[in-house]
Amino acid sequence: MASSIGTFTRFRSFFFCTSTVKQYACNTPRRIFSTSFSAHGQSRSSLFEHIKEGYSDKPELDMRRVCEHTDQVITELENRKGDLKAIDVQAIISAWKQLKEVRKKINELEENKKMISEKVRALVVKEYILFDLLFLSFVFQLMAYKSLREEGRKIRAWLSQLYTQQSDIEKEYYCLALRLPNRTHPDVPIGDESQAKVVEMIGHKAGHRSYYLRGAGAQLQMALQNFALELLQKRVEMFGVTEDETGQESSQLLNEFVLLQKEIFSSLNLHFRVLDMPTQELGAPAFRKYDIEAWMPGRESYGEISSASNCTDYQSRRLNILYERNDGSLKYAHTVNATACAIPRTIIALLETHQTKEGTVLIPEVLQPYLGLKVIEKPLYTPVKYIGPNQPHRTTYSISKS
Protein backbone atom coordinates (compact mmCIF):
# COMPACT_ATOMS: atom_id res chain seq x y z
CA MET A 1 0.00 0.00 0.00
CA ALA A 2 1.12 3.56 -0.71
CA SER A 3 2.12 6.11 1.93
CA SER A 4 0.30 5.15 5.08
CA ILE A 5 -0.15 5.66 8.77
CA GLY A 6 0.15 2.65 11.04
CA THR A 7 2.31 -0.13 12.46
CA PHE A 8 3.28 1.29 15.81
CA THR A 9 4.40 -1.37 18.28
CA ARG A 10 3.17 -1.42 21.86
CA PHE A 11 1.62 -4.19 23.92
CA ARG A 12 -1.75 -3.33 25.41
CA SER A 13 -2.17 -4.73 28.88
CA PHE A 14 -5.77 -5.82 28.50
CA PHE A 15 -4.77 -8.26 25.78
CA PHE A 16 -2.98 -10.31 28.41
CA CYS A 17 -5.14 -10.07 31.49
CA THR A 18 -4.32 -13.67 32.46
CA SER A 19 -0.64 -13.87 31.56
CA THR A 20 2.62 -12.01 31.36
CA VAL A 21 3.90 -11.27 27.88
CA LYS A 22 7.56 -11.51 26.99
CA GLN A 23 9.21 -11.11 23.61
CA TYR A 24 11.95 -13.68 23.20
CA ALA A 25 13.68 -12.30 20.14
CA CYS A 26 17.20 -11.22 19.34
CA ASN A 27 18.06 -7.57 19.81
CA THR A 28 18.92 -6.75 16.22
CA PRO A 29 18.04 -4.00 13.72
CA ARG A 30 14.65 -4.43 12.07
CA ARG A 31 14.78 -6.02 8.63
CA ILE A 32 12.17 -6.82 6.04
CA PHE A 33 12.28 -10.47 5.07
CA SER A 34 11.40 -11.71 1.62
CA THR A 35 11.83 -14.65 -0.70
CA SER A 36 13.05 -14.40 -4.28
CA PHE A 37 14.63 -16.48 -7.01
CA SER A 38 18.19 -16.41 -8.24
CA ALA A 39 19.21 -16.44 -11.89
CA HIS A 40 19.49 -20.22 -11.72
CA GLY A 41 15.90 -20.63 -10.53
CA GLN A 42 16.77 -21.60 -6.97
CA SER A 43 14.77 -19.95 -4.23
CA ARG A 44 16.42 -17.84 -1.57
CA SER A 45 15.05 -16.40 1.64
CA SER A 46 16.41 -13.22 3.19
CA LEU A 47 15.11 -14.46 6.57
CA PHE A 48 17.17 -17.64 6.23
CA GLU A 49 20.22 -15.57 5.27
CA HIS A 50 19.55 -13.43 8.32
CA ILE A 51 19.54 -16.58 10.43
CA LYS A 52 22.77 -17.87 8.87
CA GLU A 53 24.46 -14.58 9.73
CA GLY A 54 23.58 -15.19 13.37
CA TYR A 55 21.08 -12.34 13.76
CA SER A 56 18.10 -14.57 14.60
CA ASP A 57 17.33 -17.98 16.01
CA LYS A 58 16.05 -20.65 13.65
CA PRO A 59 12.25 -20.32 13.39
CA GLU A 60 10.08 -23.15 14.66
CA LEU A 61 7.49 -23.59 11.93
CA ASP A 62 4.26 -25.51 12.49
CA MET A 63 5.38 -28.65 10.67
CA ARG A 64 3.14 -30.90 12.73
CA ARG A 65 0.12 -29.46 10.95
CA VAL A 66 1.82 -29.68 7.55
CA CYS A 67 2.67 -33.36 8.12
CA GLU A 68 -0.62 -34.42 9.72
CA HIS A 69 -3.00 -32.38 7.53
CA THR A 70 -1.09 -32.35 4.25
CA ASP A 71 -4.16 -32.48 2.00
CA GLN A 72 -5.71 -29.46 3.73
CA VAL A 73 -2.42 -27.55 3.52
CA ILE A 74 -2.19 -28.29 -0.22
CA THR A 75 -5.81 -27.25 -0.80
CA GLU A 76 -5.31 -23.94 1.02
CA LEU A 77 -2.06 -23.40 -0.88
CA GLU A 78 -3.73 -23.96 -4.25
CA ASN A 79 -6.53 -21.56 -3.34
CA ARG A 80 -4.01 -18.76 -2.86
CA LYS A 81 -1.96 -16.82 -5.38
CA GLY A 82 1.61 -18.06 -5.29
CA ASP A 83 4.23 -20.18 -6.99
CA LEU A 84 4.34 -23.08 -4.52
CA LYS A 85 2.68 -26.29 -5.68
CA ALA A 86 1.64 -29.59 -4.10
CA ILE A 87 4.99 -31.12 -5.05
CA ASP A 88 6.72 -28.37 -3.05
CA VAL A 89 4.74 -29.30 0.06
CA GLN A 90 5.89 -32.90 -0.32
CA ALA A 91 9.47 -31.67 -0.77
CA ILE A 92 9.17 -29.60 2.41
CA ILE A 93 7.90 -32.62 4.37
CA SER A 94 10.69 -34.81 2.99
CA ALA A 95 13.36 -32.23 3.88
CA TRP A 96 11.85 -31.79 7.35
CA LYS A 97 11.97 -35.54 8.05
CA GLN A 98 15.58 -35.73 6.85
CA LEU A 99 16.46 -32.72 9.00
CA LYS A 100 14.87 -34.29 12.08
CA GLU A 101 16.80 -37.52 11.51
CA VAL A 102 20.11 -35.71 11.08
CA ARG A 103 19.49 -33.58 14.18
CA LYS A 104 18.67 -36.72 16.14
CA LYS A 105 21.94 -38.35 15.08
CA ILE A 106 23.87 -35.18 15.92
CA ASN A 107 22.33 -35.03 19.39
CA GLU A 108 23.15 -38.70 20.02
CA LEU A 109 26.76 -38.30 18.87
CA GLU A 110 27.20 -35.11 20.89
CA GLU A 111 26.03 -37.01 23.97
CA ASN A 112 28.46 -39.84 23.20
CA LYS A 113 31.29 -37.37 22.68
CA LYS A 114 30.51 -35.79 26.04
CA MET A 115 30.51 -39.22 27.79
CA ILE A 116 33.82 -40.16 26.19
CA SER A 117 35.39 -36.89 27.27
CA GLU A 118 34.28 -37.54 30.84
CA LYS A 119 35.71 -41.09 30.74
CA VAL A 120 39.04 -39.84 29.37
CA ARG A 121 39.30 -37.24 32.12
CA ALA A 122 38.50 -39.91 34.73
CA LEU A 123 41.19 -42.22 33.31
CA VAL A 124 43.82 -39.50 33.35
CA VAL A 125 43.16 -38.85 37.04
CA LYS A 126 43.11 -42.58 37.80
CA GLU A 127 46.44 -43.18 36.02
CA TYR A 128 48.26 -40.80 38.31
CA ILE A 129 46.87 -42.68 41.31
CA LEU A 130 47.55 -46.22 40.07
CA PHE A 131 50.86 -45.73 38.30
CA ASP A 132 52.96 -46.25 41.41
CA LEU A 133 50.78 -49.08 42.69
CA LEU A 134 50.43 -51.43 39.75
CA PHE A 135 52.21 -51.14 36.42
CA LEU A 136 49.94 -53.73 34.74
CA SER A 137 46.87 -51.75 35.64
CA PHE A 138 48.52 -48.75 34.07
CA VAL A 139 48.97 -50.67 30.80
CA PHE A 140 45.31 -51.66 30.68
CA GLN A 141 44.23 -48.13 31.52
CA LEU A 142 46.48 -46.75 28.79
CA MET A 143 44.91 -49.09 26.24
CA ALA A 144 41.46 -47.98 27.34
CA TYR A 145 42.60 -44.37 27.10
CA LYS A 146 43.83 -44.81 23.52
CA SER A 147 40.63 -46.65 22.56
CA LEU A 148 38.46 -43.84 23.92
CA ARG A 149 40.57 -41.21 22.16
CA GLU A 150 40.20 -43.09 18.86
CA GLU A 151 36.43 -43.40 19.35
CA GLY A 152 36.24 -39.71 20.12
CA ARG A 153 38.17 -38.90 16.95
CA LYS A 154 35.74 -40.96 14.84
CA ILE A 155 32.73 -39.27 16.47
CA ARG A 156 34.17 -35.83 15.71
CA ALA A 157 34.68 -36.86 12.07
CA TRP A 158 31.07 -38.11 11.85
CA LEU A 159 29.78 -34.94 13.45
CA SER A 160 31.71 -32.81 10.97
CA GLN A 161 29.98 -34.62 8.11
CA LEU A 162 26.56 -34.46 9.78
CA TYR A 163 26.80 -30.74 10.50
CA THR A 164 27.61 -30.12 6.84
CA GLN A 165 24.67 -32.31 5.86
CA GLN A 166 22.43 -30.49 8.33
CA SER A 167 23.43 -27.12 6.87
CA ASP A 168 22.57 -28.27 3.34
CA ILE A 169 19.21 -29.75 4.37
CA GLU A 170 18.32 -26.66 6.42
CA LYS A 171 18.89 -24.45 3.39
CA GLU A 172 16.65 -26.66 1.25
CA TYR A 173 14.01 -26.87 3.99
CA TYR A 174 13.85 -23.24 5.10
CA CYS A 175 14.05 -21.73 1.61
CA LEU A 176 10.88 -23.67 0.75
CA ALA A 177 9.08 -23.87 4.10
CA LEU A 178 9.40 -20.15 4.87
CA ARG A 179 7.40 -19.49 1.70
CA LEU A 180 4.42 -21.53 2.87
CA PRO A 181 1.47 -19.20 3.52
CA ASN A 182 -0.50 -19.08 6.74
CA ARG A 183 -3.61 -21.12 7.36
CA THR A 184 -6.80 -19.70 5.89
CA HIS A 185 -9.87 -18.78 7.95
CA PRO A 186 -12.72 -21.14 6.97
CA ASP A 187 -15.04 -18.19 6.18
CA VAL A 188 -12.64 -16.54 3.72
CA PRO A 189 -14.09 -16.51 0.16
CA ILE A 190 -12.21 -18.65 -2.37
CA GLY A 191 -10.96 -17.05 -5.56
CA ASP A 192 -9.65 -13.78 -6.93
CA GLU A 193 -10.56 -10.17 -6.11
CA SER A 194 -13.94 -10.50 -7.80
CA GLN A 195 -14.98 -12.94 -5.06
CA ALA A 196 -14.47 -10.43 -2.24
CA LYS A 197 -17.44 -10.42 0.11
CA VAL A 198 -18.96 -7.03 0.96
CA VAL A 199 -19.36 -7.06 4.73
CA GLU A 200 -20.68 -3.53 5.16
CA MET A 201 -21.46 -0.35 3.16
CA ILE A 202 -21.19 3.00 4.93
CA GLY A 203 -22.09 6.51 3.72
CA HIS A 204 -23.49 7.57 0.35
CA LYS A 205 -21.99 8.41 -3.02
CA ALA A 206 -21.36 12.09 -3.75
CA GLY A 207 -18.88 14.51 -5.30
CA HIS A 208 -17.23 15.35 -8.60
CA ARG A 209 -14.16 14.15 -10.43
CA SER A 210 -11.98 17.24 -11.07
CA TYR A 211 -9.76 18.82 -8.40
CA TYR A 212 -6.56 20.80 -7.93
CA LEU A 213 -3.79 19.61 -5.62
CA ARG A 214 -1.83 22.78 -4.87
CA GLY A 215 -0.86 24.48 -1.59
CA ALA A 216 -4.18 23.74 0.10
CA GLY A 217 -3.96 20.12 -1.07
CA ALA A 218 -0.57 19.72 0.56
CA GLN A 219 -2.00 21.22 3.76
CA LEU A 220 -4.87 18.72 3.52
CA GLN A 221 -2.34 15.89 3.42
CA MET A 222 -0.65 17.14 6.59
CA ALA A 223 -4.02 17.66 8.27
CA LEU A 224 -5.06 14.08 7.47
CA GLN A 225 -1.78 12.68 8.78
CA ASN A 226 -1.99 14.66 12.02
CA PHE A 227 -5.63 13.71 12.55
CA ALA A 228 -4.92 10.00 12.11
CA LEU A 229 -1.81 10.10 14.28
CA GLU A 230 -3.52 11.93 17.12
CA LEU A 231 -6.47 9.57 17.02
CA LEU A 232 -4.21 6.52 17.11
CA GLN A 233 -2.05 7.84 19.93
CA LYS A 234 -5.10 8.59 22.02
CA ARG A 235 -6.58 5.11 21.52
CA VAL A 236 -4.81 2.11 19.99
CA GLU A 237 -1.86 1.47 17.70
CA MET A 238 -2.31 -0.50 14.49
CA PHE A 239 -0.03 -3.40 15.40
CA GLY A 240 -1.09 -5.77 18.13
CA VAL A 241 0.30 -8.85 19.86
CA THR A 242 -2.16 -11.12 21.63
CA GLU A 243 -2.08 -14.37 23.54
CA ASP A 244 -3.55 -17.55 22.07
CA GLU A 245 -5.52 -19.28 24.80
CA THR A 246 -9.06 -19.43 23.40
CA GLY A 247 -8.09 -19.09 19.73
CA GLN A 248 -10.30 -15.98 19.45
CA GLU A 249 -8.06 -13.25 20.87
CA SER A 250 -6.49 -12.21 17.57
CA SER A 251 -9.84 -12.35 15.75
CA GLN A 252 -11.32 -10.02 18.37
CA LEU A 253 -8.41 -7.62 17.97
CA LEU A 254 -8.82 -7.68 14.19
CA ASN A 255 -12.45 -6.62 14.64
CA GLU A 256 -11.32 -3.81 16.97
CA PHE A 257 -8.89 -2.52 14.38
CA VAL A 258 -11.55 -2.57 11.66
CA LEU A 259 -13.94 -0.74 14.00
CA LEU A 260 -11.32 1.98 14.50
CA GLN A 261 -10.73 2.26 10.76
CA LYS A 262 -14.47 2.60 10.17
CA GLU A 263 -14.57 5.35 12.79
CA ILE A 264 -11.81 7.26 10.97
CA PHE A 265 -13.49 7.13 7.56
CA SER A 266 -16.97 7.75 8.92
CA SER A 267 -15.70 10.91 10.61
CA LEU A 268 -14.32 12.00 7.22
CA ASN A 269 -17.84 11.58 5.75
CA LEU A 270 -16.66 9.16 3.07
CA HIS A 271 -18.71 6.51 1.37
CA PHE A 272 -16.86 3.23 1.80
CA ARG A 273 -17.28 -0.50 2.03
CA VAL A 274 -15.63 -3.24 4.11
CA LEU A 275 -14.54 -6.33 2.20
CA ASP A 276 -13.69 -9.81 3.46
CA MET A 277 -10.86 -10.51 1.01
CA PRO A 278 -10.70 -13.83 -0.88
CA THR A 279 -7.88 -16.35 -0.81
CA GLN A 280 -5.95 -15.00 -3.80
CA GLU A 281 -5.79 -11.54 -2.22
CA LEU A 282 -4.27 -12.73 1.06
CA GLY A 283 -0.59 -12.12 1.64
CA ALA A 284 1.40 -15.10 2.92
CA PRO A 285 1.16 -14.07 6.62
CA ALA A 286 -2.59 -13.36 6.57
CA PHE A 287 -5.09 -15.79 8.09
CA ARG A 288 -7.87 -13.35 7.31
CA LYS A 289 -7.82 -9.88 5.78
CA TYR A 290 -10.30 -7.04 5.56
CA ASP A 291 -9.92 -4.21 3.04
CA ILE A 292 -11.72 -0.89 3.22
CA GLU A 293 -12.44 0.77 -0.12
CA ALA A 294 -13.73 4.31 -0.57
CA TRP A 295 -15.91 5.47 -3.43
CA MET A 296 -13.92 7.66 -5.82
CA PRO A 297 -16.19 9.61 -8.21
CA GLY A 298 -13.31 10.39 -10.59
CA ARG A 299 -12.82 6.74 -11.48
CA GLU A 300 -16.45 5.83 -10.78
CA SER A 301 -15.29 2.89 -8.70
CA TYR A 302 -13.97 1.98 -5.28
CA GLY A 303 -10.31 2.23 -4.30
CA GLU A 304 -8.52 0.63 -1.35
CA ILE A 305 -7.71 3.08 1.44
CA SER A 306 -7.02 0.73 4.35
CA SER A 307 -6.58 -2.91 5.35
CA ALA A 308 -6.27 -5.12 8.43
CA SER A 309 -4.90 -8.66 8.72
CA ASN A 310 -4.91 -11.36 11.38
CA CYS A 311 -1.57 -13.17 11.02
CA THR A 312 -2.12 -15.63 13.94
CA ASP A 313 1.29 -17.16 14.85
CA TYR A 314 2.82 -16.88 11.36
CA GLN A 315 5.02 -13.88 12.12
CA SER A 316 5.75 -14.79 15.74
CA ARG A 317 7.11 -18.22 14.75
CA ARG A 318 9.53 -16.57 12.34
CA LEU A 319 10.55 -13.81 14.73
CA ASN A 320 10.50 -15.94 17.90
CA ILE A 321 7.87 -13.89 19.75
CA LEU A 322 6.47 -15.88 22.68
CA TYR A 323 4.52 -15.12 25.82
CA GLU A 324 4.58 -16.74 29.25
CA ARG A 325 1.41 -18.58 30.24
CA ASN A 326 -0.01 -18.98 33.73
CA ASP A 327 1.74 -22.32 34.21
CA GLY A 328 5.12 -20.84 33.24
CA SER A 329 5.25 -22.47 29.80
CA LEU A 330 5.92 -20.46 26.65
CA LYS A 331 3.66 -20.20 23.62
CA TYR A 332 3.86 -18.33 20.33
CA ALA A 333 1.83 -15.13 20.36
CA HIS A 334 -0.56 -13.96 17.63
CA THR A 335 -0.05 -10.72 15.70
CA VAL A 336 -2.52 -8.40 14.01
CA ASN A 337 -1.46 -5.73 11.50
CA ALA A 338 -3.49 -2.84 10.14
CA THR A 339 -3.09 0.43 8.25
CA ALA A 340 -4.98 3.45 9.52
CA CYS A 341 -5.28 5.02 6.06
CA ALA A 342 -3.43 5.25 2.75
CA ILE A 343 -2.88 9.00 2.65
CA PRO A 344 -2.76 9.66 -1.15
CA ARG A 345 -5.86 7.61 -1.96
CA THR A 346 -7.74 9.00 1.02
CA ILE A 347 -6.96 12.53 -0.18
CA ILE A 348 -8.35 11.64 -3.61
CA ALA A 349 -11.53 10.30 -2.00
CA LEU A 350 -11.82 13.42 0.20
CA LEU A 351 -11.33 15.91 -2.63
CA GLU A 352 -13.70 14.14 -5.01
CA THR A 353 -16.36 13.31 -2.44
CA HIS A 354 -16.57 16.76 -0.89
CA GLN A 355 -16.16 18.84 -4.05
CA THR A 356 -19.10 21.04 -4.97
CA LYS A 357 -20.40 21.89 -8.43
CA GLU A 358 -18.67 25.27 -8.10
CA GLY A 359 -15.29 23.56 -7.71
CA THR A 360 -14.77 24.24 -4.00
CA VAL A 361 -14.03 21.44 -1.52
CA LEU A 362 -15.87 21.26 1.81
CA ILE A 363 -13.52 20.16 4.59
CA PRO A 364 -14.88 17.55 7.03
CA GLU A 365 -15.38 19.00 10.49
CA VAL A 366 -12.77 16.74 12.13
CA LEU A 367 -10.05 18.07 9.80
CA GLN A 368 -10.88 21.76 10.12
CA PRO A 369 -8.80 22.32 13.31
CA TYR A 370 -5.75 20.79 11.62
CA LEU A 371 -6.22 22.65 8.34
CA GLY A 372 -7.50 26.00 9.61
CA LEU A 373 -10.04 26.04 6.77
CA LYS A 374 -13.63 25.04 6.27
CA VAL A 375 -13.51 25.28 2.47
CA ILE A 376 -10.77 24.92 -0.11
CA GLU A 377 -11.60 27.52 -2.74
CA LYS A 378 -11.25 26.96 -6.45
CA PRO A 379 -8.01 28.57 -7.72
CA LEU A 380 -8.50 31.97 -9.32
CA TYR A 381 -5.77 31.26 -11.88
CA THR A 382 -5.39 28.66 -14.59
CA PRO A 383 -2.61 26.28 -13.57
CA VAL A 384 0.15 25.52 -16.06
CA LYS A 385 -0.54 22.25 -17.83
CA TYR A 386 2.42 19.89 -17.55
CA ILE A 387 3.32 17.72 -20.51
CA GLY A 388 5.94 15.15 -19.52
CA PRO A 389 8.22 13.06 -21.72
CA ASN A 390 6.72 10.42 -24.00
CA GLN A 391 3.36 12.22 -24.05
CA PRO A 392 1.27 12.10 -27.27
CA HIS A 393 0.92 15.93 -27.49
CA ARG A 394 4.64 16.58 -27.05
CA THR A 395 6.56 16.92 -30.34
CA THR A 396 9.75 18.64 -31.33
CA TYR A 397 7.75 21.03 -33.51
CA SER A 398 5.43 22.08 -30.68
CA ILE A 399 8.23 23.23 -28.37
CA SER A 400 8.66 27.00 -28.34
CA LYS A 401 12.04 28.25 -29.62
CA SER A 402 11.93 31.44 -27.54
CB 360 within 8 A of CB 354: no
Predicted model pTM: 0.77
CATH 1.10.287.40: which residues of the chain?
44-177
Please state, in angstroms and rounded to a whole number, the distance separating the CA atoms of residues 294 and 265. Answer: 9
Please list the residues that pair with 325 across neighbouring strands.
Answer: none
Ranges under pLDDT 70 in the chain: 1-44, 124-142, 208-215, 234, 236-237, 381-402
Burial 89-123 (b: 16+ CB within 10 A, else e): bebbbebbebbeebeeebeebeeebeebeebbeeb
CATH superfamily placement of domain 193-376: Bira Bifunctional Protein; Domain 2 (3.30.930.10)
Torsion, CA 284, CA 332, CA 50, CA 64, rounded to 10: -70
Please state, in angstroms and rounded to a whole number, the distance separating the CA atoms of residues 336 and 12. Answer: 13
Please state, in angstroms and rounded to a whole number, the distance separating the CA atoms of residues 24 and 26. Answer: 7
Torsion, CA 308, CA 311, CA 312, CA 318, rounded to 10: -150
Question: H helices within 23-62, ranges in order?
Answer: 46-52
Directed axis angle between helix 215-234 and helix 343-353, to 10°? 120
CB 105 within 8 A of CB 165: no
Q: State the DSSP code for 180.
A: P
Count of other CB atoms within 10 angstroms of residue 367: 22
C-alpha distance from residue 246 to each of 243, 252, 273 (Å): 9, 11, 30
Look at residue 43 in the predicted model and tell me its pLDDT.
60
Please state, in angstroms and rounded to a whole number, the distance separating the CA atoms of residues 301 and 297. Answer: 7
Look at residue 360 in the predicted model and tell me its pLDDT.
87
Rg of the chain on CA atoms, in Å = 31
Q: State the DSSP code for 313.
A: T
Q: State the DSSP code for 355.
A: B
Chosen CATH of 44-177 out of 1.10.10.10, 1.10.287.40, 3.10.105.10, 1.20.1440.230 = 1.10.287.40
CATH 3.30.930.10: which residues of the chain?
193-376
Look at residue 146 in the predicted model and tell me its pLDDT.
81
